[in-house]
Structures are given as C-alpha cells and as structure tokens.
Structure 1
C-alpha cells in the first residue's frame, strides 16, 4: 500500500510559555486569581468561550486562566510529575484516576458535580475528504485495499483509545467474536499511515493530505468544518459514546471549583454544543454550524456502545486493551510495527 507511518511528537506542555503557578495578586478592582487549566487537545475552542462567560459572573470576577493543551495521557502524566494544575479536563477517566492515585485529586471527584464528572460527550466518527471520493460508509470500508487511516496513537492519546475501542466494538456489535475483532483491529493498524500524538495533531495530519480517512471525535469534525476545512464525516451505525471527565486538584483555589460547576450551566453547555460537543444536561437546543444537519446535529446511532456497558469500565478496558505488556492493542501495535 506504500505505507509511510508518521508519528507526530506529542507537545505535552502546549502553551507552556504562558503557564504560571496558581495564586493571587493585588490587581485593580480586587484580588486576582489564576486558574491553571490543563486539558486534552480538543476542547480549546469551547473553553475560550466558556472562560469569558465565567469571567462575567460574580464567581469569575478577577479570575484569569493559564492554559495547557495536549495529548490526554501526556497531560495527565505531566500533572502527576509536577506540572501546575488547578482544573483538569482529560479524554479518559483513567487519566483522572492517575491523579487520584497520586493524591492530587480527591477520590470523590465523580460525585462532586452530580454528573459523574463528565462535562461533555461526543461519539467516534469517520472523517473523509470532501465528497467522500473513496465512498467510505462504515468501519468495514477502512480495511479495504488502498485505504489509508489516520488516527492518534493509543500510547499517548485518549482519543485514540476511544477510536480503537469503537473499531473493536463494532465487530462485536455486528455479532462477531473476540477473534474476529482482533483480526479487524490488526487490519486496521496495518492500514494506518499516520499515528500522531493527539486528536488535534491527527486532524492536522489529515487536513495536510495524509490518508483517506481520519478516525476522530464528532466535535473535532464539526469544528474543522466550521473553520472551512474541505471534509465530510460519517457517524457509523455502530460507534462509541465518548465521555470527557473534569476535576479540580486538592490545592486548587475555590475559583477552580466554581469554574468546574459553571461548566454544567446552560450557558456553558451551549458553548460546548456550538463547538460540536453533545451536552450532558437536557434542554440545550439550537442549530450547530458544521454539523451534517445543523438543525439535527447529533443523531442517535443505530448501536451506541459505552465503555461501562460494553467494555466493563475504563479500569477493565485499560487492563485488557492497553496494558503496556499484555494489552490486546499493545500486542497488535507491536506486531504491525505501529507502536511508536
């Protein structure tokens, strides 16, 4: 297939030049607080709007943000290793759990908001070139001759792990066996022509001309269309619900918890929606620019898998699929030469 595997270098400390330790200082009008926000790569646009809205509230007065975006796993490990963080938003629950184990986040973080700590949802989609020249309609088309896949690397990216479970799970959803799913996943990685470090880097790789299909978040596809990229996207009949968790660290200022709570308000959820995310509270409506159908932007797939119901939760999924020595995906990537 003339495969040329490219791997983008993960930039763990995106925006590090603007990163400062949390704290407060005297400022005109009162005491200024800085929230160190550390997140995975895709919600940056949404947070840009949400932060401004929060700053207009009483709780957000005199609050500033220092931001760092990058691959979810790398970001979580960086915080564990000492990177300043007051508020974290990752793409995987296990990346928050790492900080619980490190005594940086309270163990009750999931119950602190009443939403299991999930601030926004999405689903795994297939992004194609404008007009869909390769006629891709679902997962099985990805492993046909001549198709090159772009997806982030599961070693660093939470988005890649959602993608990989969706690819594996679609076989089971169609009545296949675990052996069938492993064979499909092997073919899937054999077709990979680019495995960047993050979901955002994968989008950049695809829009730069690599591959024929990008496996990505629905919100990433919508945002790319909003920005004028010549792409289309398909919501597969069988796909996986993506749930993105957020938490505050133990030593964070009160403003960080206030900001986390603000994310569940209709105003903040509307910003998430307009950036292509599926909301976690009811009653948020309105057209979404860039969606396949702006008036009905978030269709319900025929079979919507969840990590909890179909993979036993993230602890079980991480051990079964992504264990560094015995994980199914780890072994397949080594066998297919796509582990680095």
Structure 2
C-alpha cells in the first residue's frame, strides 16, 4: 500500500474526508519545526510530502511530527494568518489569499519569483457523481437541467468554490456567449444548488453522506474520496478550468521552511501530490499509476478545452473583485456575489 493511500485511509478512518484543525510538534533532533497553514484538501496530500522531506538533507534531524498544521477553507485560513495565526508556509486555493498577506507585510512581494510562478499544486474542476452516474451527467449543460441537485462550496469562504463557479462562467463566456448568457447560466446553476458548505472538504463530506446528485469539486478531491472508499465516480467535463494553488513562506520563516517550500515543487514531492490526485506543476515527474483515478494508468487526461484564470479572466487580481467583490467600502458587488444574493444562495461560512 503506497504512502498516499495510507494517508487517505487514515483520514477516512475518522470519517471520510473529515476536517482536521491542528496537529502539534513533539520536537526534533535538529530543533527545527515548520508550521504549515493550508486549505482543507491538502490535509491527506501533505503527509507523504512531509515524510519525504524529512529524508532530505534540508530536513535532516526532523520528523513528520515537527510539522505543525492547520487546515480549513482557504479564505478563512488566510484571514486567520492575517489576524496572527502561526504560519511558516502558507498554501492556499487562491492567489488572492496569499496576496492578502503580502498587503499586510506577512509575505514578501516577490513570492512568485520562482520556476512555477508561485504555484505548488494544480487540478481541474470536475463533476463528482453517484456510482455509475445514474443521472448521466457529462457536461455543464447537464447540471442545470431541472431537478438536478448540485452541491458546491460557498464562494464567500472557499477557494474551490470560486474555481467551480468561474469554470461554469467560462463554459458560456469562453465559448462565445455574452455576459448576460453567462449570468443566466450561473443563475440556473445556483437555482439547482441545494447546499453551499463552507469549504471544499465540507462539501465533499456532504455529498458522500448522501446529499445531492452532483458535486462540483477538484479532480484531486474526487480521487482522494475514491481512495478513501467513497462510492462515487467523477467526470472531467469537455471544457473546464485549470486550478492553480499558490504557496509561499512568511517573512519570519527560517531557511528550513524555505527549503520545504522549494521541495514542494520538486519532482519527488510532485509525484507524492500526484498520487493524491494533483496534476504536476513541473516536468519530469514520474506519476505512475494513481489509485482512485478513472484510468489509473492515465490519471490526468487533457480536457478538450482548458480555460485558465490568467488567459480567460485576466488573473485573480482582476477577477477577484469583478466576480466576488463583497460591496464593502463603497465598492460594487461582484457578479457572482450579486447572483448569490439574487437567488438567495449565500451559503455557509
């Protein structure tokens, strides 16, 4: 049994994909500890990466227990660090959750100056469905059919939710549709949405507990759910959005934390993340077979059309306020925020 599957099963033993708060260090021979603050779906995926890092020269004398971790909804995690929560390495769903910390002087302005432009993990938006796909859901148009019950996290707190909703928007706008047509499509999607849990992990738990016909999720989250024994399938739609998750060190972090950040994008660590369902962000990664993938031997098929946040939305610096602005300080509501309010689908925090 590989390390990734062991981690997934261990997590599932306390409730499939249950959310964990913090773990504490027991002290290392080297005296080094690393505090990792991350979005919820990294919980199981990080364990094998920690194991491999402590076997490197940079991690010599450390143990897995020397990593102190905190996981939760991406925006909530970022705001907690902003408010004073401990963190050496931050790893979030959205770039804006890192740039918030740059604005507060907690992360250096040049955090993206590396070979991956600050991205540590990647995935794509998929449809998680019941085993055998009884509703026959294959495309975005299928999930807005009357009577289809959708679960997706709340864009107000969850980074994965923002990727999901923008993927739906791109299905229309990226294929020649107008803004009004995209608004209508997202409105139909929200009308079909029966729950907007606070995080991607909570949304997965709601679905695996029996709610809904389809869950909008990360591909890696679907793979992890299957590794953990969930009776589900997933569909990579013909057109979807590339999910890119940034990571950075805080300004007070030491060189060991920086070494761990660098290790996260090494071929070895990327192979670990791939076994947990993440698509590699660097070349030369020996992915091997990925248990839980639709085709373990070819786990990451290329969608017919793959939208990106930079090419199709102008980057998060532009997209965050345009689509998800909260209307505070005299600023206008974002398009998606407005549609949530109009449909009454404001979700859980």
Distance, in Å, in 2 between the alignment partners of 1:202 and 1:40 is: 13
Q: 2:299 aligns with which of 293, 297, 300?
A: 297
Q: Is residue 19–residue 36 contact of structure 1 (8 Å, CA) maintained in 2?
A: no
Q: How many residues align?
A: 320
Alignment deviations for residues 84-125 of structure 1 (CA, whole Å, 9 cap, x no partner): 0000000000000000000000000000x3210111110000
**Residue in 2 that maps onto 1:40:** 39
Provide the rounded CA distance (Å) in 1 between the counterparts of 2:56 and 2:222.
Answer: 31
Find the residue that maps to 2:32 and give its secondary structure. strand
Query: Is the CA contact (8 Å cut-off) linking 1:89 and 1:244 kept in structure 2?
Result: yes
Task: Tell me the SS of whatever aligns to 2:86.
Answer: coil
What are the superposed Cα offsets for residues 251-302 of structure 1, whole Å, 9 maximum, x if unpaired? 0121110100111221111101100000011122311111111111111111
CA distance in 2, matches of 1:301, 1:50: 27
Q: Secondary structure at the match of 1:45?
A: helix
Cα RMSD, aligned residues only = 1.4
Task: Provide the C-alpha distance between the structure 2 equivalents of 1:275 and 1:243, rounded to a whole number of angstroms.
Answer: 15
Task: Give every structure 1 segment of 4 or more consecutive aligned residues whose post-TM-superposition deviation is greater than 2 Å.
Answer: 13-16
Which residue in 1 is equivalent to 2:187?
Answer: 186
Q: Which runs of 5+ in 2 are unaligned?
A: 1-18, 328-332
CA distance in 2, matches of 1:280, 1:186: 33
Tell me the CA shift for residue 204 of structure 1.
Answer: 0.2
Pairwise CA distance, 1:173 = 2.7
Tell me what 1:338 maps to: 345
Partner of 1:329 in structure 2? 336
CA drift of 1:61 comes to 2.0
Q: What per-residue deviation string (whole Å, max 9, x for no partner) do you get for residues 161-212 of structure 1?
A: 0000001110123321111000010111111111111111100000001110
Aligned counterpart, 1:220:
221
CA contact (8 A) 1:37 1:85 kept: yes
Deviations 1:34-63 (A, max 9, x none): 111000011111210000111111211233
User: Greater CA deviation, 206-215 or 284-293?
Assistant: 284-293
Distance in structure 2 (CA, Å) of the matches to 1:81 and 1:138:
41
2:96 corresponds in structure 1 to 94
* TM-score, reference length from structure 1: 0.91
Distance 1:327 1:96 in 2: 20
Map residues 1-340 of structure 1 onto 2, 5 A cutoff: 14-16=20-22, 18-19=23-24, 30-63=29-62, 64-111=66-113, 113-284=114-285, 285-325=287-327, 326-340=333-347
What SS class does the counterpart of residue 127 from structure 2 fall into? strand
1:49 alignment partner, SS class: helix
Q: Distance in 2 between matches of 1:19 and 1:83?
A: 14
